[in-house]
Structure 1
């Protein structure tokens, strides 16, 4: 798009003052993001603007509706001090929860002449994200952040949220997709993945525990972020404390163990998600203990006994579901995830399997970590 077209879109939102500049921002793979600077009576204020990817989110208005419901609930709770933690004392609410900016017509998204959906947030200043889990101390803070987010939403009683990506963490659905990919073998790669398929088949039944728990009611349905990786948490530059979860596009109904599991999967892995040297892949038990300790500090008061018993299992399940998804895409010819080498998705799947195997090799110790945290 031309710069004047982009600027015209920004001006559809209720932003006042003079637009000084804007640029592409962030490294996200889904939405297109810009950062703009506005002069408001001599004060510079920044905003982020995102064009929502309709190929991934087929009903963008539902994505925005979910985000609005969740952020307004959290802001209201923070306003009564019900959602505060001691580390957040004195930090303004506008820095602890994303704030959607309405359009000049009062909606919270704008549809441009090409039919693309846009939204705008107030930019949270003096905050940063991390790409690498640097220490158990950081892991503890991350666990507190995710537990606090869940605690803030535990009593949500507003309009039901939309399921913007149906069956996103439904293991039955993901295995059905894998089975279809195996039957079709569209890219002719089936002979090269027999070992991986055998492992995933051996673990098929065990991996269903969260999906089955939601289906039979043994796990309660709540609100989940669904992408609780480290770089989706903002930390205050001055204090180093976690202050806000971002990237709320996948906020949906589900079991909170989806978030706990993804947190464990992404944070406890000692290697990159696409590591080719599998000897580097392991579950760091010290990080795991710090994560679960911080998480239970914030979330332990509203979890059921059954949910607590599945905290370690949730990490294994979410690792398994990503192994299934990566291998499915590899068999289909790499049609979903971006790749930078022919075996990229296979490498990703193998890394997830290696992480599961590392968890299994120290399973009793991981369970004891959770018990000690409780």
Structure 2
């Protein structure tokens, strides 16, 4: 497939069309990503930032630079693949759109799915390590790159508003899921009871901890580094750990319609908690430790609300392959949420074992 990249983009980084080869890569749905190969076999990642999702690309660039500078000063051996500046020294290129060039990390792989608990352990350890190293970094100095991204209170309000405006047919189709969403409002109340505690701090969080956002060694799957740093911004620890639970614990994604397959893999849960706490247990507060299992409930419930809200709005946000897909995704996430509740005693026991 021929890729039409404006040569001015390449020239900003010292390349021309006849000195490089480009290949579109990646499974992400937000930014377009390309592998750039030079004549002397050097590799880079060229990425186009999606300004429909990220309204302020400079917030992303400034956040990453601030974190990169801090890590370079305090932990120079830590691999943090920050963007390479243009020949003019700019953090990214503004040319009709926004572009950046990233280093390519050799001998690594980004997985789309997990195939053994070791991978979950290593990924969780890498996300935990990044947060631990940034424990003394002033999270408030970073700017949110997506406002309200993991704000459950706001997501619930969006759901209620969508419900008030939805077509009768959509509300009838989703009646059971709407009732389930309303019933679980206690998750919002529970979070609000903790939100402003002094020992529930804002930290620098990645906010998108799916397995494809960490690089693993291609031979032994040892964790190497975290990538896709667009949502690196202030947040609660539950954002990262909860998203790991949502995406690591079930063998099937939110698009699985056979709900009998939506089950928690206990060994993956144990590996995820062990990996994360191997880095974070020394800095988590008592309140944060209390909320470890809740983090999964928080994020799974929020994602269910987001799919349901989109369905009630006519499915204008998440891409769909058929009309009821967002409703099916909602059912999937509510089944996963139910799994967290049903297995709570076993899961909490694993957490306490890991903490001790």
- TM-score for the superposition, normalised by structure 2: 0.93
Select which of 182, 185, 190 maps to 1:204.
185
Select which of 190, 202, 206 maps to 1:225.
206
Structure 1 position 10 matched with structure 2 position 7: no
- Report what 1:88 is aligned to: none
Aligned-residue CA RMSD (Å): 2.1
- Report what 2:26 is aligned to: 26
What secondary structure sits across from 2:143 in the alignment? coil
- Report what 1:103 is aligned to: 86
- Report what 1:44 is aligned to: 41
C-alpha deviation, 1:138, in angstroms: 2.0
Deviations 1:258-315 (A, max 9, x none): 1011011110113221110101101212211111011111110110011011111101
Quote the Cα distance in structure 1 between the aligned partners of 2:15 and 2:140: 28
- Report what 1:235 is aligned to: 216
Quote the Cα distance in structure 1 between the aligned partners of 2:169 and 2:7: 47
Structure 1 position 155 matched with structure 2 position 136: yes
* Structure 1 residues 211 and 162: alpha-carbon distance in aligned structure 2, compared to 1, 3 A threshold: farther
Moved more, 325-334 or 97-106: 97-106
Report if aligned partners of 1:187, 1:331 keep a CA contact under 8 Å in 2. Answer: no
- Report what 1:87 is aligned to: none
Report if aligned partners of 1:326, 1:346 keep a CA contact under 8 Å in 2. Answer: yes
- Report what 1:63 is aligned to: 60
Write the mapping of 1:202-281 to structure 2, written as runs, cut at 5 A. Answer: 202-210=183-191, 213-281=194-262
Quote the Cα distance in structure 2 between the aligned partners of 1:348 and 1:291: 23
Runs of at least 5 residues in structure 2 that lack an aligned partner in the other structure: none
Report if aligned partners of 1:151, 1:299 keep a CA contact under 8 Å in 2. Answer: yes
- Report what 1:321 is aligned to: 302
Report if aligned partners of 1:187, 1:333 keep a CA contact under 8 Å in 2. Answer: no
Report if aligned partners of 2:255, 2:329 keep a CA contact under 8 Å in 1. Answer: yes
Quote the Cα distance in structure 2 between the aligned partners of 1:5 and 1:139: 36
- TM-score for the superposition, normalised by structure 1: 0.89
Quote the Cα distance in structure 2 between the aligned partners of 1:326 and 1:301: 35
Report if aligned partners of 1:233, 1:243 keep a CA contact under 8 Å in 2. Answer: yes
Quote the Cα distance in structure 2 between the aligned partners of 1:104 and 1:8: 12
Report if aligned partners of 1:267, 1:287 keep a CA contact under 8 Å in 2. Answer: yes
Report if aligned partners of 1:63, 1:249 keep a CA contact under 8 Å in 2. Answer: yes
C-alpha deviation, 1:105, in angstroms: 1.6
Quote the Cα distance in structure 2 between the aligned partners of 1:234 and 1:228: 12
C-alpha deviation, 1:323, in angstroms: 0.1
What secondary structure sits across from 2:174 in the alignment? helix
Runs of at least 5 residues in structure 1 that lack an aligned partner in the other structure: 82-92
Moved more, 148-157 or 2-11: 2-11
Deviations 1:31-52 (A, max 9, x none): 112221123xxx4211111111
Moved more, 239-248 or 327-336: 239-248
Deviations 1:91-143 (A, max 9, x none): xx5xx32131111221111111x2x1111101111100222221222222222
Report if aligned partners of 1:69, 1:158 keep a CA contact under 8 Å in 2. Answer: no
C-alpha deviation, 1:256, in angstroms: 1.5
Report if aligned partners of 2:7, 2:17 keep a CA contact under 8 Å in 1. Answer: no
Report if aligned partners of 1:25, 1:34 keep a CA contact under 8 Å in 2. Answer: yes
What secondary structure sits across from 1:44 in the alignment? coil
- Report what 2:347 is aligned to: 366
Quote the Cα distance in structure 2 between the aligned partners of 1:207 and 1:271: 26
What secondary structure sits across from 2:19 in the alignment? strand
What secondary structure sits across from 1:189 in the alignment? helix
